[in-house]
Amino acid sequence: MRPYSFAQARSVREAVRGAGPDTAFLAGGTTLVDLMKLEVMTPEHVVDINRLPLGGVTLNRKGLHIGALERMSDVAAHPVVREHYPMIAQALELSASAQLRNMASIGGNLLQRTRCGYFRDVTTPCNKREPGSGCSALEGINRGHAVLGTSDHCIATHPSDLAVPLVALGTVVHLGSARGERNVPLDEFYALPGSTPEVENVLRPGELITGITVPRSPWAAHSRYVKVRDRQSYEFALTSAAVALELRGRTIADARIAAGGVGTRPWRLPAVERALKGRPATPATFEAAVRPAADGAEPREHNAFKPALLRRTLVRALTELVESR
């Protein structure tokens, strides 16, 4: 680990004062500390933000507000989240391990870096870690990599379970910096790799996440998150599905659908949503609606199974959601 300066901040203003590209904010540290040890991330300045007043889980007319420093396990167990936004609680409970969920913050979860093995191995080329060096996963071991939103420069999968239902539900992320505050829809927060995979989001230097707001909606309470992985716990998704339906009788009035484990960012599926609207909530509807889910996919040697697995996972999630009514 390379030398760095360390400071503790007591307010957002104090945390962001003088912060720049070489500054890292420390909350739970479950990603940052690991990557600093590997020298994948080498910040010159680390600012501990755990004393900042960025906690709280509240529900009002605008929606569910979650402070950036709330721990994953606390949010998953919160009765308001479990009742009104069940797939958020489900996604959190299927993330990492119990110990990590007790430490990791909501803001940190949304900013966690990819679990691509080449990104974490400083002896191999990786455009995300070292721009212009190449992407080892293109011709290497790529079973867990993305098939949607990829480029010739990067096929790393976005790792967050939580971000998938948040994108489906139209979440807004609140950002703070020395320049003031701004709000960004989470679906616009994450960047596609293109030719600049090192740019993962629209976060500006010295800017930090202060919280998120998930809008109120008629479908949020009737939602489900399904995760498919190689083992039952402490494993990242091969694919996942966040599905929310507004039902009127047996007819789907509206839908919100997103996928994880298959894209370079959480992947909203508007074509599937449109195919579901106005249709009966039946297996035949689900099978037909998910056909375009993997449109535009570019599978590689080891992950060619993912488009079919994504469609099956979506059907499973929709079926389980309707049957749980």
Residue 313 to residues 93, 156, 288: CA-CA distances in angstroms?
18, 20, 14
Neighbouring residues of 304: CB distance < 8 A, sequence distance ≥ 6: none
Neighbouring residues of 253: CB distance < 8 A, sequence distance ≥ 6: 218, 246, 247, 277, 278
Check if the beta carbon of residue 104 is closer than 8 Å to that of residue 188. no
Q: Looking at residue 158, what DSSP letter applies? A: P
Q: What is the CATH number of the domain that holds 270?
A: 3.30.465.10
β-pairing verdict for 208-215 and 63-67: antiparallel
| Of 212, 210, 191, 211, residue with least CA distance to 202 | 191
| Of 79, 84, 6, residue with least CA distance to 43 | 6
Provide the 3-class DSSP secondary structure of residue 258: strand
pLDDT at 325: 79
The domain tally of the chain equals 1
In degrees, to the nearest 5, what angle opens at C-alpha 74 toward C-alphas 240 and 239? 5
Question: What string of pLDDT tens digits covers the 325 residues of the chain?
Answer: 899 999 999 999 999 999 999 999 999 999 999 999 999 999 999 999 999 999 999 999 999 999 999 999 999 999 999 999 999 999 999 999 999 999 999 999 999 999 999 999 999 999 999 999 999 999 999 999 999 999 999 999 999 999 999 999 999 999 999 999 999 999 999 999 999 999 999 999 999 999 999 999 999 999 999 999 999 888 999 999 999 999 999 999 999 999 999 999 999 999 999 999 999 999 999 999 999 999 999 999 999 999 999 999 999 999 999 999 7
Alpha-carbon distance of 138 to 143, in angstroms, equals 11
Model-wide pTM > 0.95? yes
Range of the domain at 59: 1-325
Q: Order of strands, edge to edge, in the sheet holding 63-67?
A: 57-59, 63-67, 208-215, 172-177, 180-185
